Amino acid sequence: MRDPYVVGAVIDLGVCLDLISSTGIHAVESAYLDFVDYCNTASVTVPENTGGQDALFRKLDCAVINHLHKVRDPTKLPPFDSVKGVLIEDDPIYPKSGVNRKTHFQICVRSLECIRGVFRVPDDQLTQTAKPPPMAGRKKEVLQLRD
């Protein structure tokens, strides 16, 4: 077995279905209504999101987004190259917090041309702890992009 490592990628989102924007949300909402109508007309059961409170198995979401891609095919609208969104999972980090433990940003790249490059993150850039060091005594760090 090989040792695991972290990879990074440079991605151009291209034409992106942005599930953070009102336009993207409206598109998926409309696609949902059309998808449910399509399923009912075809006497097909509408899939469900399952997997507990976090709906870890998002069969309905996946089907609706795929339906949106398909209904765009015959139109003059360009296909989506990527999809991005925020997934809120797990419990709040403290009582009444709007931040949850496993909230994360997710990107789906549908067009390989959007992947501009990949790289392995050097081991010395990784940390072995899940918790950051205490703020007291830490220097302010500035992220610099390299050429």
Q: 73-84: per-residue pLDDT in tens? A: 888 899 999 999
* More reliable by pLDDT, 128 or 116: 116
User: 4 pLDDT exceeds 90?
Assistant: no
Query: pLDDT digits over 51-97, tens only?
Result: 777 667 889 999 999 999 999 988 889 999 999 999 888 888 899 99
| Cβ-contact 113, 9 below 8 angstroms | no
**Whole-Å CA distances, 131 to 68, 128, 135:** 40, 9, 11
- Higher pLDDT residue, 145 or 15? 15
